Homo-oligomer: A and B are copies of this chain.
Amino acid sequence: MIIILRLNHRIFRDKRITSHVALTARAFLADKIYYSGEKDSNLENSINKVSKQFGGNFNVEYCVSPIEFVKHKKSENYKIIHLTVYGLNLNECIKEIRKFKKILIIVGGEKVPIEYYDLADLNLSITNQPHSEVSSLAIFLHEFFKGKELSYELKNPKIKILPQRRGKKIIKLDHNS
């Protein structure tokens, strides 16, 4: 069970980044994303629409009190991993992490309160260079699942993309026929 918490979403500034974080979480086989900050129905609808069309059970939920949420998940034996440029190297920790049964990944952005660094079981960095919460999350999940997402088929898609050397090929699947 891998769930994500995206902190402090701001509709205007973060619209596309949070959407990319959520779609990456889904495509790289996380189970669910929570987000705090400003509630954003457009974000929720667009992610849920992708799930409906392309399959799987991934969904989005708004989180009013992220600190309380993290504490609660901790009490449920989730391991808390905070992705931050200041954290430990992935190579050093990945074996330890793969043993965890339930993981909550905190994806911040700018100015994450220090409380999250302290609550986390692990502050983890994907390179110690500044880049993107989107790529950090992708690499984390890719390594955690050992690349499983690259050939994984999500359940019950209505639309499926067929890989092509050139051009585009999409098929529609009718589960009622």
Interface status of A67 (Cβ within 8 A of chain B): no
A28, A85, A122, A166, most chain B CB atoms within 10 A:
A166
Number of copies: 2
Interface status of A154 (Cβ within 8 A of chain B): yes
Q: How many residues from A make CB contacts under 8 Å with B?
A: 58
Tell me the minimal C-beta distance from A56 to chain B in angstroms.
9
Using A20-B135, A161-B128 as known contacts, say yes or no to A86 and B26 having CB atoms under 8 A apart: no
Which of A36-44, A70-78, A99-107, A142-150 interfaces with chain B?
A142-150
Q: Mark A114-139, 1 if CB is under 8 A from B, else 0.
A: 10011010110111111110110111
Chain B contacts for A149, CB-based, 8 A: 127
A residues neighboring B (CB under 8 Å): 13-14, 16-17, 20-21, 23-24, 26-28, 50, 54, 85-92, 114, 117-118, 120, 122-123, 125-132, 134-135, 137-139, 142-143, 147, 149-152, 154, 160-169
